[in-house]
Structure formats: C-alpha cells, structure tokens
Amino acid sequence: MLGIGVMIQQLDGNAKSVRLFCEALNKTIIAIRLGEDEALHFAFFDGSKIRLVDTGQSCCEARYMRTDDKLEEYVGAVLLGAEVCNGPSIEDGESHDTEFLKVQTSKGEFTMVSHVEHNGYYGGFSIEVQEDK
C-alpha cells in the first residue's frame, strides 16, 4: 500500500526531477557523497549540483539510503544515466521495503539502496532530483 506522499508525487508526474536529471547527463562528476540528509549529492565540473533523495515520507516510517560501493571511485566520471528497480522486502518484525537506484557512469555503475521501514500502512518510494546548494 502506497503512502499519501508517494501518491501525491506520482500524480505530479515528477517533471522537474526529469528535467534536472537530463540536464546533469553527460557532465563530469567532481564530487559525490551520501549526505547526512540521506540524499545522494553530485557536484559537476560546470559548477552545477543536484541531489537524489527519496521524498515519499509519510508519518510512522523511517527512510534512509545506503550503498556498499565506494562513491569516491566515481569522481572524474561522466554521468550517463540512472535506473530505479524494485528491491526485496526484508522480514525483520516490521514492514521494511527496499528499492535500488542504479547509477551509470563512464567508470561503471554503482548502486544505492533506498530503505523504508513502516507500519504496513505506508510505504512506496519516490526518488526525486533536486537542485543542490
């Protein structure tokens, strides 16, 4: 069952996110990090910056993003694309869902995992691209 935040964002069509991501394609990455704000931050050679974050938050849930990949290895790469894929549900006593964000670069692909722990009445994912400061 999707949370209200995710449903509202799906109705919006996410046009701004698509535009911002398309503008970032084929740019050289000069910095990349997973921030304390649970967002994936990119800085590019031309001075532009974006962040990818799961904004589908509803009440009674915890959201966070993780990776096992070494993001610093992708500095100097060109951003080529990204794909969102369903991940498994984890049985740990509560509802815990995952979604993969696979980012393609000229140095290869790395994978982020978005997690949402919820009470069973919320959930769903909404990866959004935002301008970063």
Question: Counting Cβ atoms within 10 Å, is residue 29 exposed (0-12), middle (13-18) or buried (19+)?
Answer: buried
Q: Is the pLDDT of residue 129 over 70?
A: yes
pLDDT at 10: 52
pLDDT tens for 14-27 read 778 888 888 999 99
Model confidence at 1: pLDDT above 60 = no
Instruction: Identify the pLDDT of residue 116.
Output: 84
Q: What is the per-residue pLDDT for 124?
A: 67
Per-residue pLDDT at 118: 78
Give the tens place of pLDDT for each residue, 63-117. 889 999 999 999 999 999 998 888 888 777 778 888 899 999 999 999 999 888 8
- For residues 30 and 50, is the Cβ–Cβ distance under 8 A? no
Q: What is the pLDDT of residue 7?
A: 44
Confidence of residue 6 (pLDDT cuts 50, 70, 90): very low
Q: What is the pLDDT of residues 36-65, one digit of tens each?
A: 999 999 999 999 999 998 877 667 778 889
